[in-house]
C-alpha cells in the first residue's frame, strides 16, 4: 500500500511531539519538512491545565521548526481582494502570491467564499516548506449574509440571549463560507453622537458594553473554537477609540487614569476573562502614545496582569501610521515600537515583513518577543483546528445550505423587532389595526431596501432588505388601502446602484422638492401616515463623523408639509446614531426608533406597528436636545455646582436643557409598568460582603409586555469623584396585564469596587444609593452603608 504524503507528514510531527512529552524537551532541531499536525482540540475556552500544556507543547514543536522568515511571516496579514482562482492582476498581487508560497504570510482578510479560500489555503499548503495554515478574517460585524440590526440597534434589545444567538448565526454563516475570524465585537464605550462609528458598538455605558460584548464573544466562539460552526472573535479597539476629540474618527484621545480604568477598560477585561481569541489595537493615541505602540496597555496590562494568551492584531495600517502621528521616525522605527509594545500581527502595514529581521540583527527587538508573538498566532490556529485540517471550513455544501437560510432570516426578524424602541406614543396612536381603512407610507426611506442593511454589512446583498412598505403591505388586511409616496430623495447618487459606497462621501438633496406635493396628497386621504425618515446607511460607520446629527436634506420640510394636512404621524426613524429629535418630538404624536434593522427590517417594524409584538427596547445611548450637548451621557460627575434652574452660576446651558431629550435606558411599551416596594436585605455590609435589593414591578396596562428592569448605584463619597449613577444590573421580565413580580438583584464587592486613588480595584467604605426603574432616570431609591 502506498502511503499519502499527508499521512507521512502527520506521522513525523506526532513522532516529534512524542519525544517532547517523554523527554520534556523544549525544542526540536529544525527539519526541512513538516506537515499538518494531528491535534486533540480543546473542549472549551476554559480548557484544562493538561490540555493547555499539551497545546503549548504542540505550539513549541512547530515553533522549533521555523526559520526567522517563517516566524515573521506568521505576524503578517494581507488583504486579498483579487480572485485567487485566476491569474493575479498586478505586481502587488504577484508579490503577495509569492509570499504565500514561501509561507511568509500568517493571515488573509477580505477573501470570501469557499472556492477562493480553499485555493488560497492550497497555495500555502502545497508550496510552503512548513505548510502552516492561514487564518482567514473578515469584518463580520452584524451578520454575514443574513444581516442583523447594527450593533447599536441590537444593543437596544438589552436581550443577551438573542444577541448571542445573532452572533452565533453570523459565525455559522461565516464559517460555512470558509472564514474563521471576525473583527468583532467593538466594545469601545462611546459617548458622542457625532462619531460615525457609534453605530458599531454598544453605546455610552461601561456595564452594558461589558455584558453585551461577552454575549457576542460567546456567540461567535461558542464553547469550542475547533467546532467549524464557530469563529474567533476580536475585542476592539484597545483602547479609547470611542473617545476621539470632537467625535472625529481616528482623532486624539485625552483622558486620565480614572476614566481609562473605570470607563474604558472594563469591557476589555470582561472580554479577556470570557476567553476572546484576539484583540485589535486602536488608531488613536492616549495622552500622546499611539495605542499600537502602547507597551503599558498591551504587554504589561493585557498580556501581563490580565494573562491574555491570544494575540493582538493592529488595525489597518496602524503600525505604519505611528510615523504619521510623529511617534516613530520611519516605518522601521514603527515596527520596532509596535513589536516591543506587544502588537503581534501587522495588518497591511508591511512594516514587520520589511524590518523585523533587520531589527532583530540590530538587537532592537528580541527573538523572545518574536517567538512570543508567533506562538500566540499558532495557538489560535491550533484551537481553530486548522492544523488538524487546513480545509475544515471549506465545504461548498454548507455554503449553499447554511447561508441566508429561512431559519436565519426568521431569527433576524425576531432580533430586529426586539431592537425597536418606542420613544413617543401620545393618544396610543400605536399599535394600528390591521383592518385600518387607509395608511400612507411616505418618506425617502419608506421603500428603501438598502439603507436598512446599515454600514459594515459584510456580504449582505445590495437592495436585499425588506422595506417598510413591503412589511406594511404584507401585514394589513386586503381591504386596507396603502398609499406610497417617496416625497423626496434623501441623497443624490455618487456611485452606480450596487457599487461599493463605503469610501464615497454622500451628497444630500437640498433642492428637488418636486414630489412633496404627491406626498401631501397621499397624506390628506389617509387615517395615519407612517413617515420613514432618518439616515442613509452610509451616514454612519467608520470615517462617517458628522457635526450635524439632525435630519439631512429636505426631510424636516417634508415633515412640516405632511403635518399641515394630517397630524396623525408615526415617524419610523432609521438611523445609525443618536439624532437630534427635538423638532420631530414637538410635531408628531409617535416616534419609533428603528435603527438600521437588517435583512428583515420591514417585517420587524410592521410586527411592532400592528401590535404583533409589543416593543420592549431601551436606548443604549442618550438622545440630545441638540448637537451642542455632545458628548452626552447619563453617568456624569456631579461637579461642585450641579444644575440649579434658579441661578446662572451653576453647571448648565442657558439656551438648552442639560439633560437628554430621551435618556439612556428609556423606552416605552404598549402597556405601562409601575415600580414599588423597593427593599434591601441589609442596611450595612462589610467591604467584602453582599446584599440583595428587590423591587415590585407591576404591569398596570391592558396587554402583556416585557420590561427591562434596571439597577443603578451611586458611591456618594470616594477617593476619586464617582458618577451620579452607574448601571450595575438589568433583567428583562415578561408580565401579563395586571401581573406583578418581585425582581431581585445581588450587590457585591464586584459591583461596588472601582479603580481608586490607590491605583487598584477595591471597595471603599461609605454610603451608597440604589435606584431601580425603567431608565437611567429611575426615582425609586434605597441606600446602604459599606463598613471596613
- Give yes or no: residues 474 and 393 share one domain: no
- Residues classed as catalytic: 315
Q: Which CATH number do you get for residue 716?
A: 2.60.40.10
Specify the residue for cell string 505550539: 59
- Give yes or no: residues 386 and 440 share one domain: no
Alpha-carbon span 604 to 163, nearest angstrom:
16
- Give yes or no: residues 101 and 193 share one domain: yes
Q: In this structure, is residue 666 part of a structural domain?
A: no
Euclidean distance between the first and the last CA atom of the chain, given in angstroms as a whole number: 76
Q: What is the pLDDT of residue 7?
A: 43
Q: Which CATH number do you get for residue 124?
A: 3.20.20.300
- 518, 162 contact by CB (below 8 A): no
Inter-CA distances, 767 with 641, 770, 779, Å = 21, 10, 18
Inter-CA distances, 186 with 211, 216, 239, 442, 701, Å = 12, 10, 11, 34, 37
Q: What are phi and psi of 674, to 5 degrees?
A: -115, 135
> Model pTM?
0.93
Q: What is the pLDDT of residue 250?
A: 98
Bridge partners, residue 346, by sequence: 76
Q: What is the pLDDT of residue 91?
A: 78
Q: What are 778's three cell numbers?
A: 429611575
Q: What is the pLDDT of residue 501?
A: 65
Q: How many CA atoms lie within 13 A of 300 on its CB side?
A: 5
Count of other CB atoms within 10 angstroms of residue 740: 15
User: DSSP character for 452?
Assistant: G
The alpha carbon torsion through 277, 283, 288, 293 (nearest 10 deg) reads 50
The answer to whether the bond into 239 is cis (omega within 30° of 0) is: yes
- Give yes or no: residues 472 and 328 share one domain: no
Q: In this structure, is residue 668 part of a structural domain?
A: no
- 262, 755 contact by CB (below 8 A): yes
Q: In this structure, is residue 638 part of a structural domain?
A: no
Closest CA to 685 of 666, 713, 706: 713
What is the tens place of the pLDDT at every residue in 467-512? 999 999 999 999 999 999 999 999 998 777 667 666 678 999 999 9
Element at 9 (helix H, strand E)? helix 5-23
Q: In this structure, is residue 667 part of a structural domain?
A: no
**Which of 571, 605, 629 delimits the end of a domain?**
629
| Number of domains observed in the structure of the chain | 3
- 435, 477 contact by CB (below 8 A): yes
- Give yes or no: residues 95 and 182 share one domain: yes
Inter-CA distances, 598 with 146, 409, 521, Å = 8, 10, 31
Domain holding 744, by residue range, is 673-787
**Which of 398, 432, 452 delimits the end of a domain?**
398
**E strands, 44-129, in order:** 76-79, 107-109
DSSP assignment string, 699-758: E-SSS-EEEEEEEEEEESS-SSPPBS-EEEEEEEEEE-TT-EEEEEEEE-HHHH-EE-TT
Residue 251 CB partners (closer than 8 Å, separation 6+): 244, 245, 284
- Give yes or no: residues 123 and 68 share one domain: yes
Inter-CA distances, 352 with 76, 93, 311, 329, 555, Å = 7, 18, 15, 15, 49
Q: What are phi and psi of 283, to 5 degrees?
A: -70, -30
What is the tens place of the pLDDT at every residue in 224-255? 999 999 999 999 999 999 999 999 999 999 99
- 730, 771 contact by CB (below 8 A): no
- Give yes or no: residues 455 and 385 share one domain: no
Q: What is the pLDDT of residue 37?
A: 34
- Give yes or no: residues 243 and 347 share one domain: yes
Alpha-carbon span 512 to 493, nearest angstrom:
13
Q: What is the pLDDT of residue 16?
A: 46
Burial class (CB in 10 A: 0-12, 13-18, 19+), 32: exposed
Alpha-carbon span 780 to 675, nearest angstrom:
7
DSSP assignment string, 523-587: HHT-SEEEEEEE--GGGSSTT---S--S--TTHHHHHHHHHTT---EEEEEE-SS----HHHHHH
- SS3 breakdown of the chain: % helix, strand, coil, rounded to 5? 35, 20, 50
- Give yes or no: residues 220 and 99 share one domain: yes
Q: Which CATH number do you get for residue 430?
A: 3.40.50.1700
Q: In this structure, is residue 529 part of a structural domain?
A: yes
Q: In this structure, is residue 711 part of a structural domain?
A: yes
Q: In this structure, is residue 403 part of a structural domain?
A: no
The region, left, alpha or beta by phi > 0 then psi within -120 to 50, assigned to residue 473 is alpha
Q: What is the pLDDT of residue 262?
A: 98
Residue 398 CB partners (closer than 8 Å, separation 6+): 175, 176
- Give yes or no: residues 589 and 685 share one domain: no
Specify the residue for cell string 516613530: 328
How many residues in total does the chain contain?
Answer: 788
- Give yes or no: residues 430 and 355 share one domain: no
Buried b (16+ CB within 10 A) or exposed e, 212-249: bbbbbbbbbbbebbbbbbbbbbbbbbbbbbbbbeebbb
- Give CA 295 to chain center in angstroms: 25
**Which of 629, 653, 685 delimits the end of a domain?**
629
Q: What is the pLDDT of residue 482?
A: 98
- Give yes or no: residues 430 and 390 share one domain: no
pLDDT along the chain (788 residues), means of 10: 43 44 36 34 44 93 98 96 59 90 97 96 98 98 98 98 98 98 98 98 98 98 96 98 98 97 98 98 97 98 98 98 98 98 97 98 98 98 97 96 98 98 98 98 98 97 97 98 98 77 83 98 98 97 97 98 98 98 98 98 98 98 98 96 85 92 98 98 97 98 98 98 98 98 98 98 98 98 97
Q: In this structure, is residue 406 part of a structural domain?
A: no
Strands of 590-593's sheet in order across: 421-425, 590-593, 569-574, 528-534, 438-442, 481-485
- Quote the percentage of the chain above a pLDDT of 70: 91
Q: What are phi and psi of 543, to 5 degrees?
A: 75, 15
Amino acid at each position: 500500500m502506498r502511503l499519502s504524503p499527508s499521512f507521512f507528514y502527520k506521522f513525523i510531527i506526532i513522532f516529534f511531539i512524542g519525544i517532547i512529552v517523554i523527554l520534556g524537551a523544549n525544542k526540536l532541531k529544525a527539519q526541512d519538512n513538516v506537515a499538518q499536525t494531528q491535534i486533540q482540540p480543546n473542549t472549551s475556552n476554559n480548557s484544562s491545565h493538561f490540555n493547555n500544556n499539551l497545546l503549548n507543547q504542540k505550539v513549541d514543536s512547530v515553533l522549533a521548526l521555523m526559520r526567522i522568515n517563517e516566524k515573521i511571516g506568521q505576524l503578517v496579514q494581507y488583504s486579498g481582494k483579487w480572485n485567487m482562482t485566476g491569474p493575479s492582476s498586478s505586481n502587488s498581487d504577484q508579490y503577495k502570491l509569492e509570499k504565500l508560497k514561501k509561507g511568509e504570510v500568517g493571515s488573509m482578510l477580505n477573501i470570501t467564499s469557499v472556492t477562493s479560500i480553499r485555493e488560497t489555503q492550497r497555495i500555502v499548503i502545497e508550496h510552503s516548506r512548513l505548510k502552516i495554515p492561514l487564518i482567514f478574517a473578515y469584518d463580520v460585524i452584524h451578520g454575514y449574509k443574513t444581516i442583523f440590526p447594527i450593533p447599536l440597534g441590537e444593543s437596544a434589545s438589552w436581550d443577551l440571549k438573542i444577541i448571542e444567538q445573532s452572533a452565533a448565526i453570523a459565525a455559522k454563516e461565516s464559517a460555512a463560507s470558509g472564514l474563521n475570524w471576525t473583527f468583532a465585537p467593538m466594545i469601545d464605550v462611546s459617548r458622542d453622537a457625532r462619531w460615525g462609528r457609534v453605530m458599531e458598538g454598544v453605546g455610552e455605558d461601561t456595564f452594558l458594553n461589558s455584558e453585551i460584548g461577552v454575549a457576542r464573544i460567546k456567540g461567535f466562539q461558542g464553547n469550542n473554537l475547533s467546532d467549524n460552526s464557530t469563529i474567533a472573535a476580536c475585542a476592539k479597539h484597545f483602547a479609547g477609540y470611542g473617545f476621539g476629540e470632537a467625535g472625529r474618527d481616528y482623532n486624539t484621545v485625552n483622558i486620565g487614569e480614572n476614566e481609562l480604568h473605570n470607563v474604558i477598560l472594563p469591557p476589555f477585561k470582561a472580554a479577556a476573562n470570557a476567553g476572546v481569541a484576539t484583540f485589535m489595537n486602536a488608531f488613536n493615541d492616549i495622552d500622546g502614545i499611539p495605542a499600537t505602540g502602547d507597551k503599558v496597555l498591551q504587554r504589561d496590562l493585557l498580556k501581563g496582569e490580565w494573562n491574555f494568551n491570544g494575540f493582538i492584531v493592529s488595525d489597518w495600517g496602524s503600525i505604519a501610521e505611528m510615523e504619521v502621528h510623529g511617534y516613530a521616525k520611519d516605518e522601521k522605527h514603527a515596527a520596532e515600537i509596535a513589536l516591543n509594545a506587544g502588537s503581534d500581527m501587522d495588518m497591511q502595514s508591511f512594516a514587520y515583513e520589511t524590518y523585523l529581521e533587520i531589527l532583530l540583527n540590530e538587537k532592537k527587538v528580541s527573538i523572545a518577543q518574536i517567538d512570543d508573538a508567533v506562538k500566540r498566532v499558532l495557538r489560535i490556529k491550533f484551537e481553530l483546528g486548522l492544523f488538524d485540517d487546513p480545509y475544515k471550513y471549506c465545504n461548498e455544501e454548507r455554503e449553499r445550505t447554511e447561508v441566508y437560510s429561512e431559519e436565519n432570516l426568521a431569527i433576524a426578524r425576531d432580533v430586529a423587532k426586539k431592537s425597536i424602541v418606542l420613544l413617543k406614543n401620545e393618544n396610543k396612536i400605536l399599535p394600528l389595526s390591521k383592518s385600518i381603512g387607509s395608511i400612507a407610507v411616505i418618506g425617502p426611506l419608506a421603500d428603501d431596501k438598502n439603507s436598512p442593511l446599515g454600514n459594515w454589512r459584510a456580504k449582505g446583498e445590495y437592495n436585499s432588505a425588506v422595506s417598510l412598505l413591503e412589511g406594511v403591505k404584507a401585514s394589513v388586511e386586503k381591504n386596507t388601502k396603502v398609499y406610497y409616496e417617496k416625497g423626496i430623495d434623501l441623497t443624490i447618487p455618487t456611485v452606480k446602484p450596487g457599487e461599493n459606497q463605503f469610501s464615497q462621501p454622500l451628497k444630500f438633496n437640498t433642492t428637488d422638492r418636486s414630489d412633496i406635493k404627491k406626498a401631501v396628497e397621499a397624506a390628506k386621504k389617509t387615517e395615519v401616515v407612517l413617515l420613514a425618515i432618518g439616515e442613509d446607511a452610509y451616514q454612519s460607520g467608520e470615517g462617517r463623523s458628522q457635526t450635524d446629527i439632525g435630519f439631512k436634506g429636505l426631510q424636516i420640510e417634508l415633515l412640516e408639509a405632511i403635518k399641515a394636512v394630517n397630524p396623525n404621524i408615526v415617524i419610523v426613524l432609521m438611523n445609525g446614531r443618536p439624532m437630534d429629535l427635538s423638532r420631530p418630538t414637538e410635531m408628531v404624536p409617535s416616534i419609533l426608533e428603528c435603527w438600521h434593522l437588517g435583512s428583515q427590517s420591514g417585517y420587524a417594524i410592521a410586527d411592532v406597528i400592528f401590535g404583533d409584538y409589543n416593543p420592549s427596547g431601551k436606548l443604549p445611548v442618550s438622545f440630545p436636545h441638540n448637537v451642542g450637548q455632545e458628548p452626552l451621557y447619563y453617568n456624569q460627575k456631579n461637579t461642585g455646582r450641579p444644575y440649579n434652574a434658579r441661578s446662572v452660576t451653576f453647571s448648565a446651558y442657558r439656551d438648552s436643557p442639560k439633560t437628554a431629550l430621551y435618556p439612556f435606558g428609556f423606552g416605552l411599551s404598549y402597556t405601562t409598568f409601575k415600580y414599588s416596594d423597593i427593599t434591601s436585605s441589609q442596611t450595612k455590609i462589610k467591604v467584602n460582603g453582599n446584599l440583595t435589593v428587590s423591587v415590585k414591578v407591576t404591569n398596570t396596562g391592558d396587554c402583556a409586555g416585557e420590561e427591562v428592569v434596571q439597577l443603578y448605584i451611586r458611591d456618594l463619597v470616594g477617593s476619586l469623584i464617582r458618577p451620579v449613577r452607574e448601571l450595575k444590573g438589568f433583567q428583562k421580565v415578561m408580565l401579563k396585564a395586571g401581573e406583578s413580580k418581585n425582581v431581585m438583584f445581588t450587590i457585591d464587592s464586584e459591583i461596588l469596587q472601582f479603580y481608586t486613588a490607590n491605583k487598584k480595584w477595591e471597595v471603599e467604605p461609605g454610603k451608597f444609593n440604589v435606584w431601580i426603574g425603567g431608565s437611567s432616570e429611575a426615582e425609586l431609591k434605597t441606600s446602604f452603608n459599606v463598613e471596613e
